[in-house]
């Protein structure tokens, strides 16, 4: 952790620079896997699953029996917790449904739009030791509310061919039936291209390692939509003298444990807080199972004390994925926020609540992408198709406007499409 | 034009394949221009403007005097038409503003989201003979409604250093003040990177030739958002026996005149319509100034007669950018539409109306991208930031759920961020 008290402009800018990522160029590998999946389909998928994940699934799709076993294996406590989170996430994402009324923009000219679920979507859930069943909720629930007809969830099996029961239970309880035992590049290739047994999809969602990220980028270059660009997770915590250092330290660590490349930043108008928080971070860190990852991540942590008047500008310049506001002037800060992914307001609103169960989505723009991107929401799973209907009176009124504009753009056929109709209407009037 | 009457499944699939595009690999050129703009800033921009567009602007920004001259040069008729279109587009895009009420997902847990305009956006308007001032409306109006603080419009000047007055008038009348005389790769590089005089932006919108498209793709790889992937424009017209062949032909031609790679498709349940429409297309074509482009485009035109029951599946399989419904059973078709950009309903709703003035946006997903992408709307210019605020009672209720889930994902620090708060609240209760 590096501490800064009233840094000058340049120091502050450097302090808020995100750690540079070492990125391998995986494009040749990705292209070769995609080409092979295109040519050999399921056989290629099985070969890569064996090679990269240590298990070749005979049946790519999880069976009913496997879903049942998972449900039986899971503790009732965890099932109840997942169910409660599910309800909250469902409530918040249902409230995002748009019901736009038609607008009569000119007399006889009516325009509206309708949200329609993307027909086929793919959800990627990483494997590894920690089973990210919470991400199944965050992607699956809005996909189902959106009315996506074909939802394929891909997640790698372990070396015994098993998928974590929490992932299967969650998929099953929210209504996802198609879970395919595939991870990494081959999973993204399968979702992008389809095979004998797997449908291709139009948009791919979900987190992943550098292989998954590179494969999603390649899929995007083929015309398949993706949720958003990837980057390491991060949190900015804004605190004042009234904030509890224990809470602040816990919030910083909850982000730091994600991985060595996660960045955590504390900004405060109370200089004495920096030392208190650092002490508290070190105390809590000692007891964490994921201590090593967190320790690495803390190398790029920043504790910054500035004048209160500078806080909003710092938030917006950093554009944090997660922003925790733990001050006595939160409302003022909220009003000034332009760039952030998701905001957690008050001493009793840790990021963890939103990561799992408050109802908001946890798939959020990292790496400053909050400047241009929103987090995943119901919007991510629909297209808003526009419609318009014009009456004869409507085109008589608006047609001449369009004729003039089309002529000025030298698009005569555009003009004619109006002119022929106006002529017909005027002829009919004269009859 | 090729006609098909009741084609079999494979013939139909082939008929609906979009023409393959010849694409040059421009990535080396694009990268070299970006590198040079990064290093030399405005000086590089002037050099490329001279080299590619034949004019090096001393002042990159359009001056007040130039705006005034443009306003004086434009006919009152055209100004009135632009003003009317502006009003309609404004009305429809204002109606897209979201006012989502906070949701109490659990007792004491309140979540909401707020739309915030992207701080800095770039709008690209192509140069050339036809001045696309209508695109200034389609991108500028929602950007302004969204509250984007910095809106930079880039468009190339002609060899005399002039920008078409209709473009300048439109920019000025909707409230865009920053118009920069740049086109092509160098314009996109300037918007992406910024220079001494130009701000960089977070998202770039607008159509363009293959150079602009390649530059936008490169910008996207640098983390700058773009509106949507590019492709040739297209229309699908669905008609029945009651439709007027003159209108149908005019609608097909209004798309065909866009360019040699535009595709136009007519689908009908009335086989005799194919010949009537073809005759009418040839008649109208003869009188068009852009006859050559349209003739080339018509080589990939398709006229298809099928059973009425097959129409909806054909629409959704093709996923047209523009869809005109000119039948006596439009409502039924509308209900079945899953994949389309913008839909024009009825005999008196030609695509031209939406291209210019009905109020809907004309920046739409081409090339089948309507399967996963929406057209440009107010949504394209905002981020929806989520917020949540949890009371002590709220975390007492929901906290244990999060503790169980975080523990199951082996994220102990996530759990701790809740646990420390629950402990404090319980201690306080005991005092």
The pLDDT tens digits for B209-247 are 999 999 999 999 999 999 999 989 999 999 999 999 999
Predicted pLDDT at A82: 98
Catalytic residue among A234, A278, A321, A403: A321
Contact A398 B348 (CB under 8 A): no
Q: Which residues of B352-382 are buried (b: 16+ CB within 10 A; e: fewer)?
A: bbbbbbbbbbbbbbbbbbbbbbbbbbbbbbb
Active site residue B321: yes
**pTM given for the model:** 0.97
Q: Which chain B residue has the Cα nearest residue A411?
A: B257
Contact A408 B95 (CB under 8 A): no
| Sole residue written with tokens 């015994």 | A160
pLDDT, one tens digit per residue, over A25-76 is 899 999 999 999 999 999 999 999 999 999 999 999 999 999 999 999 999 9
Q: ipTM of this model? A: 0.96
Does B49 share its domain with B143?
yes
Q: Which chain A residue has the Cα nearest residue B147?
A: A338
Report if residue A22 sits inside a domain.
no
Nearest by CB to residue A413, choosing from B221, B254, B342, is B254
Domain that holds residue B329: 231-374
Mean local confidence (pLDDT), A220-236: 94
Predicted pLDDT at A322: 98
Rounded CA separation B132/B102 (Å): 41
Measured at the alpha carbon of residue A154, what is the angle toward residues A150 and A157, in degrees to the nearest 5? 145
Does B209 share its domain with B343?
no
Please list every residue in chain A whose beta carbon sits closer than 8 Å to the beta carbon of residue B113. 96, 360, 377
Nearest by CB to residue A356, choosing from B78, B217, B402, is B402
Q: Which chain A residue has the Cα nearest residue B134?
A: A405
Report if residue A12 sits inside a domain.
no
Cβ–Cβ pairs < 8 A, chains A and B: 419
Q: Among A197, A226, A255, where does a domain finish?
A: A226
pLDDT, one tens digit per residue, over A341-384 is 999 999 999 999 999 999 999 999 999 999 999 999 999 999 99
Backbone angles phi, psi at B14, to 5 degrees: -65, -40
Report if residue A20 sits inside a domain.
no
Q: Up-side HSE of residue A124: CA atoms within 13 Å toward CB?
A: 28
- How many angstroms separate the CA of residue A53 from the nearest CA in chain B? 20
Report if residue B5 sits inside a domain.
no
Does B191 share its domain with B299?
no
Predicted pLDDT at A250: 97
Contact A254 B416 (CB under 8 A): yes
**Positive/negative CA dihedral, B135, B136, B137, B139:** positive
Backbone angles phi, psi at B241, to 5 degrees: -60, -25
- Which residues are within 8 A (CB) of B63 and not within 5 positions of it... i.e. 6 or more apart? none
Predicted pLDDT at B99: 86
Does A183 share its domain with A277?
no
DSSP B29-68: HHHHHHHHHHHHTHHHHHHHIIIIIS---SSSBPPHHHHH
> For the domain that residue A246 is a member of, what is the CATH number?
3.40.50.1980
Please list every residue in chain B whose beta carbon sits closer than 8 Å to the beta carbon of residue A374. 382-385
Predicted pLDDT at B431: 62
Predicted pLDDT at B289: 85
Catalytic residue among B321, B351, B362, B403: B321
Sheet holding B203-205, edge to edge: B178-181, B150-155, B120-124, B203-205, B225-226
Catalytic residue among A93, A322, A351, A362: A322
Does B235 share its domain with B265?
yes
| Sole residue written with tokens 């991108």 | B139
Q: Among A173, A201, A226, where does a domain finish?
A: A226
- Which residues are within 8 A (CB) of A208 and not within 5 positions of it... i.e. 6 or more apart? A124, A126, A184, A215, A216, A230
Contact B345 A389 (CB under 8 A): yes
Active site residue A322: yes
**Is pLDDT of A313 > 70?**
yes
Report if residue B42 sits inside a domain.
yes
Contact A351 B133 (CB under 8 A): no
Nearest by CB to residue A416, choosing from B113, B116, B254, is B254
Does A216 share its domain with A259?
no
- How many angstroms separate the CA of residue B151 from the nearest CA in chain A? 14
Q: Which chain B residue has the Cα nearest residue A316?
A: B119
Predicted pLDDT at A431: 63
Query: Best mutation site among B217, B247, B417, B421 for testing chain A: the one with the most A CBs within 10 Å?
Result: B417
Does A41 share its domain with A155?
yes
Does B73 share its domain with B222?
yes
Nearest by CB to residue B405, choosing from A343, A356, A408, is A356
Contact A387 B92 (CB under 8 A): no
Please list every residue in chain A whose beta carbon sits closer than 8 Å to the beta carbon of residue B207. none
Q: Which chain B residue has the Cα nearest residue A96?
A: B100
Does B176 share its domain with B61?
yes
Does B212 share its domain with B136?
yes
Predicted pLDDT at A20: 79
For chain A, the domain total comes to: 3
Does A325 share its domain with A369?
yes
Please list every residue in chain A whose beta carbon sits closer than 8 Å to the beta carbon of residue B251. 417
pLDDT, one tens digit per residue, over A99-147 is 889 999 999 999 999 999 999 999 999 987 778 999 999 999 999 999 9
List per-block mean pLDDT (blocks of 10 residues) for chain B, which spans 431 residues: 96 91 87 98 97 92 97 97 98 95 97 98 90 96 98 96 96 97 97 97 96 96 95 95 98 91 94 97 92 89 97 98 98 98 98 98 97 98 98 98 97 97 90 62
Does B177 share its domain with B310?
no
- Give, for B13, the enclosing helix (H) or strand (E): helix B9-15
Contact B223 A251 (CB under 8 A): no
Report if residue B7 sits inside a domain.
no
Q: Among B200, B226, B252, where does a domain finish?
A: B226
Contact B250 A413 (CB under 8 A): yes
Q: Rounded mean pLDDT of chain A?
A: 96
Catalytic residue among B86, B93, B258, B322: B322
Report if residue B290 sits inside a domain.
yes
Contact B357 A398 (CB under 8 A): yes
CB atoms within 10 A of CB B422: 17
Q: Which chain B residue has the Cα nearest residue A250?
A: B417
| Sole residue written with tokens 């081959």 | A186
CB atoms within 10 A of CB A242: 11
Check residue B225 and report its DSSP letter.
Answer: E
Q: Rounded mean pLDDT of chain B?
A: 96
Predicted pLDDT at B262: 87
Taking CA atoms, B216 is separated from A182, A351, B11, B130, B207, in Å, by: 33, 35, 36, 22, 10
Report if residue A386 sits inside a domain.
no
Please list every residue in chain A whose beta carbon sits closer than 8 Å to the beta carbon of residue B342. 385-388
Nearest by CB to residue B334, choosing from A343, A387, A425, is A387
Please list every residue in chain B whose beta carbon sits closer than 8 Å to the beta carbon of residue A389. 345-346, 349
Query: Best mutation site among A229, A330, A358, A378 for testing chain B: the one with the most B CBs within 10 Å?
Result: A358
- Give, for A100, the enclosing helix (H) or strand (E): none
């Amino acid at each position: 952790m590096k501490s800064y008290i009233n840094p000058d402009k340049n120091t502050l800018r450097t302090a808020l620079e995100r750690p540079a990522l070492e990125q391998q160029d995986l494009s040749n590998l990705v292209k070769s896997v995609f080409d092979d999946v295109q040519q050999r389909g399921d056989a290629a998928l099985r070969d890569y699953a064996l090679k990269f994940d240590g298990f070749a699934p005979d049946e790519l799709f999880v069976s009913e029996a496997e879903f049942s076993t998972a449900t039986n294996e899971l503790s009732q406590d965890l099932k109840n917790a997942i169910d409660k989170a599910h309800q909250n996430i469902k409530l918040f994402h249902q409230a995002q449904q748009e019901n736009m009324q038609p607008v009569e923009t000119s007399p006889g000219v009516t325009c509206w739009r309708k949200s329609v679920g993307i027909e086929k979507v793919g959800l990627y859930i990483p494997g590894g030791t920690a089973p990210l069943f919470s991400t199944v909720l965050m992607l699956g629930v809005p996909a189902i509310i959106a009315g996506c007809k074909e939802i394929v969830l891909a997640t790698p099996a372990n070396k015994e061919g098993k998928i974590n029961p929490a992932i299967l239970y969650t998929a099953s309880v929210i209504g996802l039936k198609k879970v395919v035992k595939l991870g990494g590049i081959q999973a993204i290739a399968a979702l992008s291209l389809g095979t004998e047994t797997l449908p291709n999809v139009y948009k791919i969602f979900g987190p992943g390692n550098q292989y998954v990220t590179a494969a999603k980028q390649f899929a995007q270059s083929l015309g398949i939509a993706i949720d958003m660009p990837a980057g390491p997770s991060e949190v900015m915590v804004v605190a004042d003298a009234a904030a509890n250092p224990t809470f602040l330290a816990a919030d910083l660590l909850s982000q730091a444990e994600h991985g060595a490349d996660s960045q955590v930043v504390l900004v405060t108008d109370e200089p004495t807080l920096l030392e208190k928080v650092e002490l508290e971070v070190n105390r809590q860190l000692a007891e964490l199972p994921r201590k090593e990852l967190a320790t690495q991540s803390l190398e790029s942590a920043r504790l910054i004390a500035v004048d209160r008047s500078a806080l909003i500008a710092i938030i917006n310049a950093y554009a944090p994925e997660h922003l925790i506001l733990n001050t006595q002037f939160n409302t003022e800060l909220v009003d000034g926020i332009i760039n952030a992914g998701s905001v957690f307001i008050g001493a009793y609103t840790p990021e963890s609540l939103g990561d799992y169960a408050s109802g908001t989505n946890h798939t959020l723009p990292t790496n400053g992408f909050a400047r241009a991107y929103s987090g995943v929401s119901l919007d991510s799973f629909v297209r808003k198709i526009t419609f318009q209907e014009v009456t004869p009176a409507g085109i008589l009124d608006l047609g001449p406007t369009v004729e003039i504009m089309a002529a000025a753009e030298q698009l005569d056929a555009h003009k004619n499409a109006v002119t022929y109709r106006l002529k017909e209407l005027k002829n009919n009037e004269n009859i």
